[in-house]
Amino acid sequence: MAVEESVTGAARGPGRPGAGAGARPVPGEVEILRRGMEAFAELGYDRASARELARRLGVSHNFINDRYGSKADFWRAVVDALLEGDQVERRALLESDVDDAERVRAVIVHFYQAAVEAPLLGRLLADEFGRESERLDYLYERYVAPTLGPLIPAVERLMAAGRMPDVPVDVLFFAVISPVAGLVQLPLARRLGRAQPITRESQERTARELADLIADGLLGPHRR
């Protein structure tokens, strides 16, 4: 039999009223995680207090601890909900039977496409990448390192063959990720002359242009 969950996160059986006659239902999991991403992206982890998170999620103050265990665990759930699918797609690209240059290009293109799918994630990552924390360790160990590990041998072969600039991995990493600002810092983009209105289609076009600019600069023009 279905069990209804009150806004406090406590389960109650059907026919058993909540503490208040007007108790509202808890949003679904997808909506909870979406609102959580909005909060962490806009406020940063430290400023996203338990009280503010509860207000934005539309739940009681103890909901996050009851459902997820802690604010840190909720943050990880939010991040995983957006990045786990991307990680599966990147793994397929890294394992594909293609030339090293095509593999590197495919990962770069995928990175910018993913930024269009989840623009708030870019803001969250920019904030977390700038400070030492357990959250940065989590992002690096769970998502950054598993991508770089299989990709670095291909990059090293391309550099050794003179097909790619011979630069340290950290320089290469920031050369690729920094231009994602063009997809998330839209108020500045407008002031720089970005065509209006900004739509999903225009964002996808910008993502392709950025990916081509970076990949062509690193690997040479793509043979189409």
Query: Would you kindly state where each structural domain of the chain is located, as residue ranges?
Result: 76-219
pLDDT tens-place string over residues 1-55: 333 333 333 334 333 334 444 556 888 999 999 999 999 999 999 999 999 999 9
pLDDT for residue 221: 84
Per-residue pLDDT tens over the stretch 97-142: 999 999 999 999 999 999 999 989 989 999 999 999 999 999 999 9
Topology at the third CATH level for domain 76-219: Tetracycline Repressor; domain 2 (1.10.357)
Residue length of the chain: 224
pTM here is 0.82
Q: What is the mean pLDDT of the chain?
A: 88
